[in-house]
Structure 1
Amino acid sequence: MKNKLLFILSALGALIGVVAAIFYAQQRPPLPPVFQPAANPYKNGIYANGIIESYQDNGANINLYPEVAGTVIRIPVREGQEVGRGADLLVIEDSVQRALAAQQQAQVQAAEAQLAQLKAQPRKETLEVARAQAEASSASLKTVQDQLDKLQRSYALNARSVSQDAMDNAANAVRVARGNLDVARRQLELTRAGAWVYDIRNQERQVDALRKAAAASTALLGKYVVHAPVDGVVMSVNTAVGAYVSSQGTYGTYTQANTPVIVMGSAPGTLAVRVYVDEILLQRLPSAKSGQAMQGRMFVRGTNTSIPLEFVRTQPYVTPKIQLSDQRTERVDVRVLPLLFRFSPPQNVTVYPGQLVDVYLGGTS
Structure 2
Amino acid sequence: MVRQAILPVLAVVGFAAAVWAVNKQSAPIVSVPAATNPAMNPFGRAVSGAGVVEPTSESIAVSPAIGGIIVDVFAVWGQNVKAGQPLYQIDARPINAQIAQAKAEIAIRQASVAQAKASLDRLQAGNREEDKRIAAARVDVARTQVEEANDQWARLKPLLESRVSTEDEASRRRFALKQAEANKVLAQAELAKTEAGGWALDVGVQEAAVRAAEAELTAAKAKLLALEVDLDRLTVRAPVDGTVLRVNARKGQYVPAGGVSASTDGAVVLGDIEHLHVRVDIDETDVARFDKTAKAVAFSRGATRIALPLEFVRIEPYVIPKRQLTGASNERVDTRVLQVIYRIDKGDRPLFVGQQMDVFIESGR
Q: Is the 8 A contact 2:126 2:198 kept in 1?
A: no
- Note the C-alpha offset of 1:273: 0.4
Q: Is the 8 A contact 2:65 2:233 kept in 1?
A: yes
Distance 2:156 2:42 in 1: 142
- The answer for the alignment partner of 1:282 in structure 2 is 287
Distance 1:67 1:153 in 2: 87
Q: Is the 8 A contact 1:155 1:161 kept in 2?
A: no
Farther off after superposition, 272-281 or 163-172: 163-172
- The answer for the alignment partner of 1:272 in structure 2 is 277
Distance 1:181 1:340 in 2: 94
- The answer for the alignment partner of 2:324 in structure 1 is 323
Distance 1:320 1:133 in 2: 87
- The answer for the alignment partner of 1:12 in structure 2 is none
Whether 1:46 and 2:53 are equivalent positions in the alignment is no
Q: Which amino acid aligns with 1:260?
A: G
Q: Is the 8 A contact 1:141 1:174 kept in 2?
A: no
Identity of aligned residues (%): 27
2:207 to 197, 203, 225: 197
- Note the C-alpha offset of 1:245: 1.1
Q: Is the 8 A contact 1:134 1:185 kept in 2?
A: no
- The answer for the alignment partner of 2:163 in structure 1 is none
- Note the C-alpha offset of 1:190: 4.5
Whether 1:85 and 2:92 are equivalent positions in the alignment is no
- Note the C-alpha offset of 1:232: 1.4
Q: Is the 8 A contact 1:277 1:338 kept in 2?
A: yes
1:208 to 196, 218, 231: 218
Distance 1:187 1:364 in 2: 103
Whether 1:234 and 2:241 are equivalent positions in the alignment is no
The unaligned stretches of length 5 or more in structure 2 are 1-33, 161-169, 327-331
- The answer for the alignment partner of 1:300 in structure 2 is 300
- The answer for the alignment partner of 1:73 in structure 2 is 71
**Cα gap change, 1:52 to 1:183, in 2 (>3 Å):** same
Q: Is the 8 A contact 1:134 1:181 kept in 2?
A: no
- Note the C-alpha offset of 1:180: 3.2
**Cα gap change, 1:97 to 1:148, in 2 (>3 Å):** closer
Q: Is the 8 A contact 2:127 2:194 kept in 1?
A: no
Whether 1:176 and 2:183 are equivalent positions in the alignment is yes
- Note the C-alpha offset of 1:225: 2.0
Q: Which amino acid aligns with 1:141?
A: V
- Note the C-alpha offset of 1:66: 1.7
Q: Is the 8 A contact 1:318 1:336 kept in 2?
A: yes
**Cα gap change, 1:187 to 1:152, in 2 (>3 Å):** closer
List per-residue Cα deviations over 1:236-261 (Å, max 9, x = no partner): 11121122211368xx9xxxxx9221
Q: Which amino acid aligns with 1:90?
A: Y
- Note the C-alpha offset of 1:112: 2.0
List per-residue Cα deviations over 1:253-295 (Å, max 9, x = no partner): xxxxx922111102x42211000011221121126xxxxx132
Distance 2:325 2:117 in 1: 67
Q: Which amino acid aligns with 2:274?
A: G
The unaligned stretches of length 5 or more in structure 1 are 1-32, 253-257, 288-292, 326-330
Farther off after superposition, 160-169 or 333-342: 160-169
Distance 2:356 2:52 in 1: 5
1:218 to 212, 222, 228: 228
Whether 1:353 and 2:353 are equivalent positions in the alignment is yes
Q: Which amino acid aligns with 1:302?
A: G
Query: Which secondary structure state, in structure 1, belongs to the residue aligned with residue 323 of structure 2?
Result: coil
- TM-score computed with the length of structure 1 as normaliser: 0.72
- Note the C-alpha offset of 1:82: 1.4
Q: Is the 8 A contact 2:152 2:173 kept in 1?
A: no
Q: Which amino acid aligns with 2:136?
A: S
List per-residue Cα deviations over 1:303-343 (Å, max 9, x = no partner): 23321111011111111112369xxxxx9312111100012
Distance 1:262 1:364 in 2: 44
1:25-40, aligned counterparts within 5 Å? 37-40=38-41
- Note the C-alpha offset of 1:175: 3.2
Distance 1:156 1:95 in 2: 82
Distance 1:361 1:84 in 2: 36
**Cα gap change, 1:39 to 1:107, in 2 (>3 Å):** same
Q: Which amino acid aligns with 2:134?
A: A
Q: Which amino acid aligns with 1:83?
A: V
RMSD of equivalent CA atoms: 3.8
- Note the C-alpha offset of 1:54: 0.4
**Cα gap change, 1:199 to 1:351, in 2 (>3 Å):** same
**Cα gap change, 1:333 to 1:137, in 2 (>3 Å):** same
- The answer for the alignment partner of 1:338 in structure 2 is 339
**Cα gap change, 1:185 to 1:273, in 2 (>3 Å):** farther
- The answer for the alignment partner of 1:263 in structure 2 is 269
- The answer for the alignment partner of 1:63 in structure 2 is 61
Query: Which secondary structure state, in structure 2, belongs to the residue aligned with residue 39 of structure 1?
Result: coil
Query: Which secondary structure state, in structure 2, belongs to the residue aligned with residue 203 of structure 1?
Result: helix
List per-residue Cα deviations over 1:335-364 (Å, max 9, x = no partner): 111100012320x21111111111111244
Distance 2:283 2:108 in 1: 66
**Cα gap change, 1:151 to 1:243, in 2 (>3 Å):** closer
- The answer for the alignment partner of 1:22 in structure 2 is none
Distance 1:211 1:130 in 2: 36
Distance 1:68 1:204 in 2: 31
Query: Which secondary structure state, in structure 2, belongs to the residue aligned with residue 305 of structure 1?
Result: strand
- The answer for the alignment partner of 2:108 in structure 1 is 110
